[in-house]
Each structure stands twice: as structure tokens, then as C-alpha cells.
Amino acid sequence: MKTPAGSTQRRFVLKALATAPLAVLGLAGCSPRSEDARALRIASPWPRSVRERLERGFDAWLGDSREPGEANHPPIVWITIPEGEPLDRFLRRDARSPDVLLGGPVDDYARLADEGRLEGLGNETPRPYWRVIHRSEIAMARRPSRAPRPRLVLGDPRVDPLARAWCLGELEGGDWSASYAKLVDRYGRASLGAGWRSGSARAAFDQGRADETILEFDPAEDAESTDSDLEILDEPIPYVEGAAVRVGSPRAPVARELLSFLGDRWGAEPGPAAEGRRAAVADARGLAADLLGATLVDAQDELRIAGAAVRKAGSPEWAVELLTRIPPWPPASVEKLLAKRGESGLELLETLIGQIAPEAGARVWLTRSWLKAGKPIDGEILAEIARVEGGRLAREPRFRTWLRAEWTQWARQRYRWVARLAASGIPPASSAVSGSRDL
């Protein structure tokens, strides 16, 4: 049976170092002296224990490949990346300019490479720009409990990397409508509410305040583990992390050596070179995470009430379908503007587009897209948005803020409406069940 990795403590690192010769682990790592201009600055969300072991292993690896008396690596200064914070946001916020980024979802590395913010891994050839440093699996897991109903806690997919990977894996692994309905059901049943901070759901599980959550598993360790009584509820979903050298690093040669060490000792693989395509995928996944955060987390109070009302009514098919409906594209407020008679609706629509999309190409695309027949959002629509103007529309803060607010308001109104219908036991007209313009 699977044994969970300790939060994101990266047991694969500990295992690799635990099997190294004692002489390697006995070498003292360089003390982090931030005042030393030679210091290699590594930004990572990984814990201190793993960092120290990595530093010792790197020092020993360099010692094996250099002549006696030749200097090993310079002192290392570690910079903590808050777990779950996107790397591009961290780099904008943190002025300490790390040389190496170590850990975090590969989507972030694809986007940074596409923007020209990563150095090549080799001194001669610019590509690839990053390495796949760690592969694990995540799944919904439950442990035995005396509670009459398992206590479920889930994280916010916008800030919790495991929740994000699990939710997006569910959506991308099958039919969007059915997968979204499953997520609505899971988040609506979360007894402790969604964890608002990265790692809060796992902390509740570790402290015994929850019986069911998303956990990370190391496949290599799992093959040797038979003492866990956890029940795995879903097919495991891959979770992949990266590592790279920041463009413009004055210590790029030794930073590349660190990544070479990871490849030599831990099997880190070069990332694919199709940065533009991967960046578009990453942007689409970011939009999907916003969608889920808005409808499942920001509107969770209303969702839980509506879900309880539907279950109390016996979960009639019409009520379940309405509860789990995916938001429409174009958004509901845009449909209302389009439904206005005369030119006033189009004028208001033009004003709205000008406020949320500063580039002409994005404004043209939004106008054309919104004038088409509406349909529920799916992966194809989000991927199309992510390609507009080379991804600039999907990354535009004004557009993203407006879209998140639209989705949240739509979800809250829908959940309240469904709760009233379920309590009354009277289904709406058939056109309201099948159409998207019912709110």
C-alpha cells in the first residue's frame, strides 16, 4: 500500500542521499554567508533538511571531478520560495535575484523559458533551458476513521500545488463535464472547507483533523512500502517539478554544474525545447485553476449549502445537473449585454472589452468570440484564450481579475438558486435545465 511523502519534503532526495557513501554525507557543506559575493543563490520551496543534504552531496560530487586542491563550489545562500507561489510572481516580488530555481511545477519553468528568463543548460547550446528534477504521484487518499462520515479537506488549486495538479489532472484526464461535476461534489462535501494556504489541507490531515485529502507519493518508495493502511480513492496523477538557471546570473557556470550534478546523481532530465507550446498549455492550466478557485473555493459556502439541499432532496437528476453546471462562455454578464435591444448593449460591451483587454488583437478576438453561440467552458476554450496574442490576454491582470469575479458571482448565484429549487422540490422549466441563460 502506498505511503505518503511528507508534505512536499521530497523523500526522493533523502533516499538518494541516504544511499550515498558515508564520506559524502560527512563532508561539511559551506556555510551560507550572504555577504560573500561569490555565493551561489538558490531559491527553493524545499525544506532545510533537504537543502543541507543536497549541498553536501554537491560538494562531494565536485570533489570527485576536480584535481586535489582545486576549489569546490562557493558558499550557498538559500532563498525560500513560499510553497505554492508561482515562480514568475516570486521573481517579481523578491529582489535578491537567485541564480538557481529549484523545485516547483514544470508549468512555471515552461512559462519562464518562453519569456526568455532562463539560461540554457549548456555552455555552448542555449537549449534546453530547464530540467525535470522530480517526478511523483498524487491521489485522493483516506485513512480509517471512527467518524460517521470521513472528514475531507481540500486545498485551493490557485495556491496549493498538489490541489492544483490533482484538480487539473482530473479535468484533463477525461470528459470535462463529468470531471467538473466530480470536483463540485468533492469540494461541496469538504467538511473543513478548502485550505486557503498552501499545505493547510495536508497539515489538517497530519494533525488528525481530517481523514481524507490529496497526498503525494513517491513511486520508488511505494514499491517497498507495505505498512500503510491508507486507501487510495483515485487513479494517481503525475506531479512533476523543474529546476533552472535564471537568465543573467553572474554565477551561471557553477549554477549549471549544480544542475549537472542533479542529472548525474538523481536522474534529472532535460526539459523539452517546445517552450512556446508548453507556455500556452501552462497559461490554459492557470485559467482552469482560476475557474476552479472561483467556483469551488470562493463560492464554497454557497456550494456546501446547495449540495446539502440537493442531497436532502434525494439528489434528483435535474438538481445534480444544475448544481454541477460549468460556467458559460461568453460569461453570463456578457450574454446579458448581448441580449439588450438596440445598440446600447453593444456599446457597453465595447466599453467593457476596452477596459479588460488593452491590445487591439485581444479586443478583436474577444468581440468575435463573444458574438458566437454560447457554450459551457471546456479545455478547448481555455486553450484558445491562452493562445490569443501569444498568451498576453491570458496573462493580462485586468482580464484575469474580471474573469475571476465573473465566475465567482455566477457560481454564488447559481448555488443559491439550486438550493432554493432543491428545497422546494420543484424543478425549473426544461429550457432552464438545458440552456445556459437561466440566471
Residues in the chain: 439
Between CA 427 and CA 425 the distance in angstroms is 6
In single-letter form, the type of residue at position 238 comes to: P
Q: Enumerate residues 6+ apart whose C-beta is below 8 A from 266.
A: 12, 13, 16, 133
In single-letter form, the type of residue at position 120 comes to: G
Decide: 254 and 185 in contact? Cβ < 8 Å. no
| Pure H helices in 115-251 | 161-172, 176-189, 200-206, 219-222
Spell out the per-residue pLDDT of the chain, length 439, in tens.
Answer: 455 555 444 433 333 433 333 233 333 334 444 456 778 999 998 888 888 888 888 888 887 766 655 556 678 999 998 877 888 888 888 767 899 999 988 888 888 888 888 988 875 555 678 889 888 899 999 988 777 778 899 999 998 888 999 999 999 888 999 999 999 999 999 876 666 677 788 888 888 888 899 998 876 655 445 446 888 888 899 988 999 999 989 988 889 989 989 888 878 888 776 656 777 888 999 999 999 999 999 999 999 999 999 999 999 999 999 999 999 999 999 999 888 876 777 888 899 999 999 899 999 999 999 999 899 999 999 999 999 998 899 999 999 999 999 999 999 999 999 999 999 988 887 545 544 444 5
Between CA 151 and CA 265 the distance in angstroms is 41
Q: What angle do CA 184, 187, 189 make, to 5 degrees?
A: 105
Kindly list the distances between the CA atom of residue 114 and the CA atoms of 89, 117, 379, 411, in Å, as whole numbers in the listed order.
Answer: 15, 8, 21, 34
Between CA 165 and CA 20 the distance in angstroms is 31
Residue with cell 565536485: 62
Decide: 394 and 285 in contact? Cβ < 8 Å. no
At residue 426, the pLDDT reads 86
Q: Enumerate residues 6+ apart whose C-beta is below 8 A from 108.
A: 86, 87, 88, 242, 282
Decide: 415 and 320 in contact? Cβ < 8 Å. no
Q: Nearest-CA neighbor of 381 among 171, 125, 117?
A: 171
Kindly list the distances between the CA atom of residue 346 and the CA atoms of 302, 328, 338, 349, 352, in Å, as whole numbers in the listed order.
Answer: 32, 19, 7, 5, 10
Cell digits of residue 387: 493562445
Which domains does the chain carry?
Answer: 1-273 (3.40.190.290), 299-439 (no CATH)
Cell digits of residue 338: 448581448
By the 10 Å C-beta count (0-12 exposed, 13-18 middle, 19+ buried), 230 is classed as middle
Residue with cell 533551458: 129
Angular region, 22: left φ>0, alpha ψ -120 to 50, beta rest: alpha
Decide: 124 and 258 in contact? Cβ < 8 Å. no
Between CA 435 and CA 328 the distance in angstroms is 10
215 phi and psi, to 5 degrees? -125, 155
Residue with cell 466599453: 351
Cell digits of residue 258: 549544480
Between CA 195 and CA 190 the distance in angstroms is 10
Cell digits of residue 376: 459551457
Angular region, 247: left φ>0, alpha ψ -120 to 50, beta rest: beta
Instruction: Tell me the chain's radius of gyration from C-alpha atoms.
Output: 24
Q: What is the DSSP letter of 343?
A: T
Cell digits of residue 185: 461534489
Rounded to whole angstroms, the maximal C-alpha distance in the chain is 84
Between CA 32 and CA 357 the distance in angstroms is 45
Between CA 191 and CA 207 the distance in angstroms is 15
Count of Cβ atoms closer than 10 Å to residue 402 Cβ: 17
At residue 125, the pLDDT reads 58
Q: Enumerate residues 6+ apart whose C-beta is below 8 A from 148.
A: none
At residue 295, the pLDDT reads 97
Q: Give SS3 for 128.
A: coil
Q: What angle do CA 47, 53, 57 make, to 5 degrees?
A: 140
At residue 352, the pLDDT reads 93
At residue 113, the pLDDT reads 85
